[in-house]
Structure 1
Amino acid sequence: MKTFFTWSMLSVLITISCNANHKSNSELAFQNEKNHLIETTKTDPNTRNIQVALLLDTSNSMDGLIDQAKAQLWEIVNELSYAKCGHNTIKLEIALYEYGNDGLPSQEGFIRQVLPFSNDLDEISKELFALTTNGGNEYCGKVITTSINQLNWKKNNDHLKLIFIAGNEPFTQGPVNYKDAATDASEKDITINTIFCGNFRQGIDTMWKHGADLTRGEYSAIDHNRETIHIATPYDDIILELNNKLNGTYIYYGHRGAQKRELQAEQDHNARSYSPANAVSRTISKSSGFYKNKSWDLIDAVEDESFEVEKVAKEELPVELKDKSEKELKQYIAEKSNARKEIQGKINDLNKKRMQYIKENSKKDDSNLETALLNAIKKQGREKSFSWEN
């Protein structure tokens, strides 16, 4: 079937000189990692976070679920990118866990944190596409409690903090009672939403609905084996051509910059592996405010007023930029930045026409992962003054 959803270390390196006040590359790398950790924990009063922890059953019967997750990631991101909350900046963070797989450590309860909260959409896509299924024991209460304890959940209750757990075995299995897990979630203002892969009534009988009810979350039953239908539109080819131009505006830097740019291309390929329409959805995501790569892209990095491009070491730049003067480099960045804005503007204009075409030519489908996620996020978001416009 062809058919979804770590932070990298900011590597600003100061040119080494004989001046004793200058730090070494390794010292800077360490400091940047510390700064990154501080950045992810500090509270910005003008920011509202949407934190989504996805807990996916990767036992043998869940190939269809994983396929839906891969196929629908970008449409989910796109829909969330339209979120508003007053004059606040919206940030999306996604964490990923797998559970119920015999290939996972039994001492951990057959659970693995695939990715902590991250806004690196390429990394999220990479890890999602790397998931494989295997037989195992599915402990819902255990994986919920683990995600509550391990993840860096926002303290302020103005943020939207959601757990989505999907699977098809009884919710009661394992060493941790799901009722205790729900109590832990409620204490941190985290809402648990459950997605049963199978018959709606069976999910109720095996306590999946009760698991959601305890935190006022949403219960959904989906057909996890249903293939995702992507609607092709007359605008797709133009958007994909613009994606190639968009990729040309990225200026990598740092010791992992080239690697991260390769990752970007790899995730473009993964999206295309399902369908051109899925690749279009990813392109739309790359034109949204959620797709930022300041840890390796100079254009995104210079948006941060504290970033000093003149302190990036020449050896950390692409070959074609190593011999440019500071003035020439800044001019080059400005030109690429303007080009990116223009391309993204064209993509977003075309996407409005694309969305209208899809609306007029698609049938409503309530039995998939995307619908279950978005319906719950929007409903619970409205309770915290979030709204959605596109």
Structure 2
Amino acid sequence: MKTYLNTLLLSVALISFTYCNATHNRTDTDLTATENVVNKSNKQYIKVALLLDTSNSMDGLIDQAKAQLWDIVNELSYAKCNGHKPQLQIALYEYGNDNLNAAEGYIRQVLSFSEDLDEISKELFSLTTKGGNEFCGQVIQTALNQLKWGDNPDDLKLIFIAGNEPFTQGKINYQAASTNAKEKDVTINTIFCGDYRQGVSMLWQDGARLTNGDYMAINHNSATVHIASPYDDIILGLNEKLNSTYVIYGQVGRQKLELQAEQDENASSYSKANAVSRTVSKSSHLYKNTSWDLVDAEAETGFKYEALKQDLLPKNLKGKSETEIKAYITKKRHEREAIQKEIQALNTKRKKHIQEHKKQSANGLENAMTQAIKEQAKRKKYTWN
């Protein structure tokens, strides 16, 4: 399962989690200063909806997604379109679990499109398996209906569905769902957890073919392979310094800082190398926390220092003047940029070391997803650094 979840998050890999989702569960006063600061109309997105089978046999798949999320995110961070770096949004669905509502096809939207990588990690770690009845056509159609895919022709819009039962189960025909996906410019990629030829006979390949997506088969029960490098300890030490640059705002800020630490720990629970991959993700442009961190929020168009509420500032900034607050945030920004630059430089060396020591059997889910995304991105003139 560990091998699958590293792959998954790149295709994973992840939410009409536009800015309003990023401010989910906050009080009305928490982000007054950063309200409406993000104008996304001109931004490009890689939108990935992950549809994961959470029936009894899928523990390995879920485990891979957890273990491989950050490697997927890191690979996507190198994408460019028309000279710009697109943002990443990930949505997460589970299906085929007997704990879910039968009337809704044993399907649950875990997260709408979101850019909050910590929240995505948290929800992945919350998934459990039981049951069940896997209705591929219905979960695809549900994701098409519920998510805000948008109409920007430069956005890369992808569905990755993973499971191991016949693709034809359920009351909604997968061919009809595929027709709707094409209308929304969404590409469906299928990942069969088992033998390649068996997946073909169960029509998983046909499910991908109809939208010019990729069909892949993986061993979802194989363990994720993490390769250590001589740079890991240094990068992990920099992660602690990086965490110290966050300047929280309001109650949500305190909660989100705790969530950040929790996801650091979740990544570490798989291996040191996985924790390093998460740290690298945190040093990329895809890891942004404008809803609760004043350093990220201040960089957004529309931010106003005079709108900050004193009672929502962290203790060390309460009672400070606007000039003093600005100087402190600027100082933290410079610290963060220097740390991120150092992490990226070390990661370049780390990647070279991993490539030199990588065995022939690459991580199934991660490798499958990243290859699919890159090939499909070429159709929209995306490039990779």
TM-score bin (small chain) = over 0.9
Match of 1:49 in 2: 45
- Map 1:61-210; keep pairs closer than 5 Å: 61-210=57-206
Greater RCO structure (CA 8 Å; 6+ sep): 2
Match of 1:295 in 2: 291
TM-score by length of 2: 0.92
CA shift for structure 1 position 43? 2.6
Count of matched residue pairs: 371
CA shift for structure 1 position 35? 4.2
CA shift for structure 1 position 363? 1.3
> Residue 23 of structure 2 aligns to which amino acid in structure 1?
M
CA shift for structure 1 position 48? 1.9
Within the alignment, does 1:237 sit opposite 2:251 as a pair? no
Distance 1:112 1:87, change over 3 A: same
Distance 1:31 1:106, change over 3 A: farther
Identity %: 60
Distance 1:153 1:360, change over 3 A: same
Deviating 4+ runs (over 6 angstroms)? 29-34
Residues 113-165 of structure 1 deviation map (CA, whole Å, 9 limit, x = unaligned): 00000010000000011000001100000000000000000212221100000
> Residue 153 of structure 2 aligns to which amino acid in structure 1?
N
Match of 1:273 in 2: 269
Distance 1:154 1:172, change over 3 A: same
Larger CA deviation: 319-328 vs 291-300 = 319-328
Within the alignment, does 1:349 sit opposite 2:363 as a pair? no
Gaps of 5+ in 1: 13-24
TM-score by length of 1: 0.91
Residues 271 and 278, structure 1, Cα contact 8 Å, conserved in 2: yes
State the SS of the aligned residue for 1:95.
strand
State the SS of the aligned residue for 2:86.
strand
Distance 1:91 1:330, change over 3 A: same
> Residue 9 of structure 1 aligns to which amino acid in structure 2?
T
Gaps of 5+ in 2: 10-16
State the SS of the aligned residue for 2:375.
helix
Within the alignment, does 1:374 sit opposite 2:382 as a pair? no
Match of 2:304 in 1: 308
Q: How far, CA to CA, are the matches of 2:83 and 2:236 in structure 1?
A: 32
CA shift for structure 1 position 175? 0.7
Within the alignment, does 1:321 sit opposite 2:317 as a pair? yes
Within the alignment, does 1:8 sit opposite 2:22 as a pair? yes
Q: How far, CA to CA, are the matches of 1:172 and 1:11 in structure 2?
A: 38
CA shift for structure 1 position 11? 10
State the SS of the aligned residue for 1:291.
coil
Distance 1:178 1:11, change over 3 A: closer
Distance 1:211 1:246, change over 3 A: same
Greater CA radius of gyration, 1 or 2?
Answer: 1
Of residues 209, 212, 216, the one that matches 2:208 is 212
Q: How far, CA to CA, are the matches of 1:31 and 1:248 in structure 2?
A: 23
Within the alignment, does 1:249 sit opposite 2:251 as a pair? no
Q: How far, CA to CA, are the matches of 1:94 and 1:151 in structure 2?
A: 10
Residues 243 and 283, structure 1, Cα contact 8 Å, conserved in 2: yes
RMSD: 2.0
Match of 2:13 in 1: none
Q: How far, CA to CA, are the matches of 2:58 and 2:94 in structure 1?
A: 11
Distance 1:219 1:366, change over 3 A: farther
CA shift for structure 1 position 299? 0.3
Of residues 258, 263, 269, the one that matches 1:262 is 258
